[in-house]
């Protein structure tokens, strides 16, 4: 049965080199497996044809070979980010880079390098626009010093948006890892605690924020080690974000927050893949907190018409992902034991 499921759900990928999609010259394909269900193969990835890719780059950019290696790498990253920004997949098609309204029944899927092979969204309200240019917008990102927060800050800077990072910490190493100094200089970093609603409100007003991305949270190990503190940051902190946005909804046009695939148990897999509003049975306090936050978002929409977008990242990995890994491993091992 496992092989049948894997064969039915896997996709075969090809390299995109020189303006065309190519199979691996060697014919080799590698299996990409679902980390939560190791017996499930979700994709076949071709062996990288590095030589062909370099030859195509030399042909397209005559000065490529003369450029310093860091400059070549930075150009490739920027091109990849630009491509990803303009190709945001939604349930009924592909976003082409212009302004487009996302309906409540659409699911914004993050690219696999940012959110794992699967993503899910919970939308409340119907006036969220995906834009190619955001120069007139001012964004506040809570938890901006974390992995996802750093990448969101970088993406917003690339889109010419004004970015304010709001974080209790002061270690900007992840931002420095993925951003050039001139890019980082365009991010305003504020020390702040989401459990302090007055502090949050001042940050929104002093910087005339128009959009909020709420990521600040204590991950699985920290929420387990100190449950009261975990609930205070994860649940009360999120409620504070919704409350301060509600008080300024004439100016703040968008609110996105991070939920998590942790709202589900392994036994919920089939239902969760079939419908984004499937009932979850979290097995960690962190998952319970995230499920509560989705309920909070729903109530703020129903009672106060505060629109929001909640995303449930699956497995997050890549540059800057240096904390929370133990929690991921523990969750995977727990799911393995429960499914055995």
For the stretch 18-40, pLDDT in tens is: 667 777 777 777 777 766 666 77
Rounded to whole angstroms, the Cα distance separating 61 from 294 reads 47
* Predicted confidence band of residue 100 (pLDDT cuts 50, 70, 90): very low
Is 75 inside any structural domain? no
Token pair 């036994």: residue: 267
pLDDT at 335: 56
Question: Does residue 333 sit within a domain?
Answer: yes
Which three-class secondary structure state does DSSP give residue 107?
coil
Identify the band that residue 329 occupies on the pLDDT scale cut at 50, 70 and 90. Answer: low
Query: Average pLDDT of 149-173?
Result: 93
- Least confident range from 12-21, 224-233, 260-269, 277-286: namely 12-21
Give the whole-angstrom CA distance, residue 46 versus residue 12: 8
Do 139 and 191 belong to one domain?
Answer: yes
Question: What is the C-alpha to C-alpha distance for residues 206 and 317, in angstroms, rounded to an integer?
Answer: 34
Radius of gyration in angstroms for the set of CA atoms belonging to the chain, rounded to a whole number: 21
Cα 299 to Cα 291: distance, rounded to the nearest angstrom: 13
> CB within 8 A of 88, min separation 6: which ones?
94, 95, 108, 109, 130
Measured in degrees and rounded to the nearest 5, phi and psi for residue 63 equal -85, 5
CATH for 272? 3.40.50.720
Shared domain check, 230 and 260: yes
Q: How far is CA 64 from CA 57, 68, 98, 247, 256, in A?
A: 7, 9, 31, 52, 39
State the pLDDT at residue 122: 54
d(Cα 291, Cα 193) in Å, to the nearest integer? 21
CA atoms of 245 and 313, how far apart (whole Å)? 23
Report CA torsion sign: 316, 92, 161, 296: negative
pLDDT for res 72: 66
State yes or no: pLDDT of 319 exceeds 80. no
For residue 283, tell me if it sits in a domain: yes
Same domain, 61 and 92: no
Average pLDDT over residues 234-246: 98
Which range marks the domain in which residue 140 is found? 88-339
Contact 243, 287 (CB under 8 A): no
**Residue 279 domain-assigned?**
yes
Question: pTM of this prediction?
Answer: 0.60
HSE value, Cβ hemisphere, 13 Å, CA-based, for 6 = 14
CA dist., res. 162 & res. 210, Å (int)? 10
32 and 181, same structural domain? Answer: no
Q: Residue 241's beta-bridge partner residues?
A: none
Q: How many structural domains compose the chain?
A: 2
Same domain for 110 and 42: no
Q: Could you tell me if residue 77 is inside a domain?
A: no
Mean pLDDT, range 310-335, rounded to an integer: 68
On whether the CB atoms of residues 133 and 155 are closer than 8 A, the answer is: no
At 132, give phi and psi (nearest 5°).
Answer: -95, -25
- Please check whether residues 51 and 167 belong to one and the same domain: no
């Amino acid at each position: 049965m496992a092989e049948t499921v894997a064969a039915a759900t896997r996709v075969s990928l090809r390299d995109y080199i020189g303006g065309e999609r190519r199979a691996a010259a060697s014919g080799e394909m590698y299996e990409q497996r679902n980390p939560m269900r190791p017996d499930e193969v979700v994709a076949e990835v071709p062996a990288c044809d590095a030589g062909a890719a370099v030859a195509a780059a030399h042909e397209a950019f005559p000065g490529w070979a003369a450029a310093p290696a860091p400059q070549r790498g930075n150009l490739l990253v920027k091109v990849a980010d630009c491509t990803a920004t303009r190709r945001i997949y939604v349930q009924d098609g592909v976003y082409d880079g212009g302004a487009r309204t996302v309906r409540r029944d659409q699911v914004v899927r993050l690219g696999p390098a940012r959110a794992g092979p699967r993503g899910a969204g919970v939308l409340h309200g119907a006036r969220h626009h995906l834009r190619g240019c955001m120069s007139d917008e001012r964004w506040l990102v809570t938890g901006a010093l974390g992995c996802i927060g750093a990448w969101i800050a970088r993406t917003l800077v690339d889109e010419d948006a004004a970015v304010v990072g709001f974080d209790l910490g002061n270690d900007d190493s992840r931002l420095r890892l993925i951003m050039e100094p001139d890019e980082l200089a365009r991010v305003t970093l504020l020390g702040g605690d989401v459990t302090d609603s007055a502090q949050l409100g001042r940050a929104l007003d002093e910087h005339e924020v128009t959009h909020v991305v709420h990521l600040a949270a204590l991950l699985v190990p920290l929420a387990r080690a100190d449950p009261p503190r975990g609930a205070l940051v994860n649940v009360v902190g999120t409620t504070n974000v919704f409350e301060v946005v509600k008080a300024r909804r004439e100016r703040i046009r968008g609110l996105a927050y991070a939920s998590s695939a942790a709202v589900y148990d392994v036994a919920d897999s089939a239902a969760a893949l079939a419908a984004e509003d499937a009932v979850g049975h979290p097995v960690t306090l962190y998952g319970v907190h995230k499920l509560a936050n989705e309920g909070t978002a729903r109530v703020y929409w129903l009672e106060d018409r505060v629109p929001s977008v909640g995303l449930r990242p699956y497995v997050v990995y890549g540059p800057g992902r240096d904390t929370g890994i133990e929690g991921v491993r523990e969750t995977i091992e727990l799911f393995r034991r429960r499914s055995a």
